[in-house]
Amino acid sequence: MNPTKQNTGVSWFSLLGSTRKARIVSASAIALAACAFGAAGVAPLAPDPADLPVRSIAQELQLPDIADQITALQNTDQSFIHEERVRPGDSLASLLNRLDVDDPDAVAFIKADKLARGVMQLKTGKRVQAQTDADGTLQWLRATVVEGKDTLKNITITRQNGKLVAQEAPVQLERRIEMRAREISSSLYAATDADVDGGRMPDQITAQLIEMFSTNIDFRSDLKRGDHFNVVYETFWQDGELVKTGRILAGEFTNRGVTYQSVWFDDPVTHQGGYYSFDGKALKKAFLKSPLEFSRISSGFSMRVHPVLGEWKQHKGIDFAAALGTPIRASGDGTVDFQGVSSGYGNMVVLKHWNNYSTAYAHMSRFAPGVRRGTKVHQGDIIGYVGATGWATGPHLHYEFRIGGTAVNPATVNVAQQAPLSPAELQRFRMVSADMLHRFDLLRPINAPRVALR
């Protein structure tokens, strides 16, 4: 066989096959196009909406009987809860009126019941809540009252078996820790009243801040623009409402480039509390200079003629002249060692302090409630009131400072600081101070250096 013809034949059949395939594909494409054109040509047009038939359908629906529903609602027991705040000049009638209470029996009960009458003694701004039925009959009423210095109680008036009953219970408060940082631009009060970083600071905290640092800073003349302070304090809340402000837990004040710090430590074992520097040194003086806030010394620690006996005797204390009933404060932390009548001293209290110290308070008109042998007292607590009992010619306080039972001159005795922390107390203190230092670091600007301890 001729190789050339053989090769030509192979090329011919290949070309023939390719051409045939091309013709088939082309024919198919033409047929599809024709079909598409034909389909487009015969598709029906959309009808005009105006030519569509319209048919109206009406159906009657039965409405519910409104009268039956109103009757059903009227027969259902409904309760309404109202909340109001006491306004200046409020009377019981005006307060109950705003609470939508229309209940003569409730008014009479509140006026007559000793416990319920506490509602009539609420301070301006205090919150009162009440629940009534649709006719205004009182179902319950609740208010928080203050008894004494810090005691808070909830008074609740409820209707039990158709009879009104008043009950009281301790307030369950939520304790919160607040942190504030301020800079002095004009005055301390302007800084604390500024509505920044969570709002203004309570006035009680401002007063505590002044007391805390007043031995180092004269807040009337020493402050200058740019001074700043950080403070951590506690507040107490009930149902989202601020009920009272607690104490400062830690304070840091920078005045003219010098920083002073203080932290509160209340030992959980000994329950002795006080302010300390961050290295554990007590900041509070061990004893007050005077057990009376406002008084004058009428007789010092010296030899004198006794005003009653007429004898030349050593006066082993200091007499503070004051009006009858003036409160007497404990000059230091301690425990009541004696309370009662002691011969010429009249009504007398003796406090036992740390390191064999004791103090005596004589000629009281009466003792403060709760002051009895074994009672723990803190510096500044009221223990009694000025009188003229015993051998006294007029109302005054006879005050003695004793070491080991021997009276010494309280004006010259050198007891600078309160009792130092024991090793165990110091270990617990460091945990508290570390937490407060961390809080101060959070309050300072980023990259600000930690200040030196003062």
Kindly write down the DSSP assignment for every residue of 93-161, as one continuous string.
Answer: HHHHHHTT---HHHHHHHHH-TTGGGGGGPPTT-EEEEEEETT--EEEEEEEEEETTTEEEEEEEEEET
Q: Which residues pair with 229 in a beta bridge?
A: 182, 253
pLDDT at 344 over 70: yes
Q: Is residue 311 scored above 60 in pLDDT?
A: no
Q: Encoding tokens for residue 185?
A: 């631009």
Residue 13 is inside which H or E element, if any? helix 3-42
Higher-pLDDT residue of 187, 76: 187
Q: What is the mean pLDDT of the chain?
A: 80
What is the per-residue pLDDT for 19?
Answer: 44
Range list for CATH 2.70.70.10 in the chain:
296-408
pLDDT at 450 exceeding the cut of 60? no
State the residue for tokens 């001074």: 227
pLDDT band, residue 184 (cuts 50/70/90): very high
Rg of the chain over Cα atoms, rounded to whole angstroms, equals 44
CA atoms within 13 A on the CB side of 334: 28
How much is the average pLDDT of 287-303? Answer: 64
Between 379 and 230, name the one with better pLDDT: 230
Q: Are 450 and 252 in contact (CB under 8 A)?
A: no
105-121 average pLDDT score: 90
CB 236 within 8 A of CB 243: yes
Q: What is the pLDDT of residue 348?
A: 95
Share above pLDDT 70 across residues of the chain, in percent, rounded to a whole number: 76
Is the pLDDT at 273 greater than 70, yes or no?
yes
- Return the pLDDT at 294: 56
Identify the CATH assignment for 76-170 out of 3.40.50.1000, 1.10.3720.10, 3.10.450.350, 3.40.1310.30.
3.10.450.350
Q: What pLDDT was estimated at residue 217?
A: 85
**Three-state DSSP state, 205:** helix
- Per 3-state DSSP, the chain is made up of helix, strand and coil in percentages (nearest 5) of 25, 35, 40
- pLDDT at 29 (0 to 100): 46
CA distance 359 to 401: 5
CATH architecture of 173-284+418-454: Roll (3.10)
Residue 449 in this model has a pLDDT that exceeds 80: no
Q: Where in the chain is the domain with CATH 3.10.450.350?
A: 76-170, 173-284+418-454
Q: At 61, which amino acid appears?
A: L
Asked if pLDDT for residue 35 goes beyond 80, the answer is no
Structure tokens of 4? 């050339």
Q: Give the separation between CA 424 and CA 280, rounded to whole angstroms.
A: 12
3-class DSSP assignment, residue 29: helix
Query: Which pLDDT score, from 0 to 100, does residue 369 have?
Result: 93
Which pLDDT tens digit goes with each residue over 351-365? 999 888 999 999 999
For the segment 8-28, the average pLDDT, to the nearest whole number, is: 42
What is the rounded CA–CA span in Å between residue 360 and residue 399?
6
Q: Which amino acid is at 41?
A: G
pLDDT above 70: residue 300: no
- What gap in Å lies between CA 449 and CA 454, rounded to an integer? 15
Rounded to an integer, the average pLDDT of 133-155 is 83
* Residues 138, 132: Cα–Cα separation, whole Å: 5
Residue 406 confidence class, pLDDT cut points 50, 70, 90: confident
Round to the nearest angstrom and report the end-to-end CA distance of the chain.
119
Question: DSSP class of residue 444?
Answer: S
Distance CA 98, CA 100 (A): 5
Does residue 75 surpass a pLDDT of 70?
A: no
Candidates 2.60.120.10, 2.70.70.10, 3.30.70.890, 3.20.20.70; correct CATH number of 296-408? 2.70.70.10
Q: Reduced to 3 states, what is the DSSP secondary structure of residue 214? A: coil
Q: What is the band of 204 on the pLDDT scale with cuts at 50, 70, 90? A: very high
> Residue 453: is its pLDDT beyond 60?
no
CB atoms within 10 A of CB 361: 28
Judged by average pLDDT, the poorest of 157-166, 192-201, 377-386, 429-438 is: 192-201
Are 84 and 128 in contact by the 8 Å Cβ rule? The answer is yes
Strand partners, 159: 164
- Residue 391: pLDDT band by 50, 70, 90 thresholds? confident
Distance CA 445, CA 434 (A): 19
Mean pLDDT of 101-108: 93
Provide, rounded to the nearest whole percent, the portion of the chain with pLDDT above 90. 41
Rounding to the nearest 10 degrees, give the CA dihedral for residues 333, 339, 345, 351.
-20
1 vs 143: which has the higher pLDDT: 143
Cβ partners under 8 Å of residue 133, min gap 6: 77, 78, 79, 80, 139
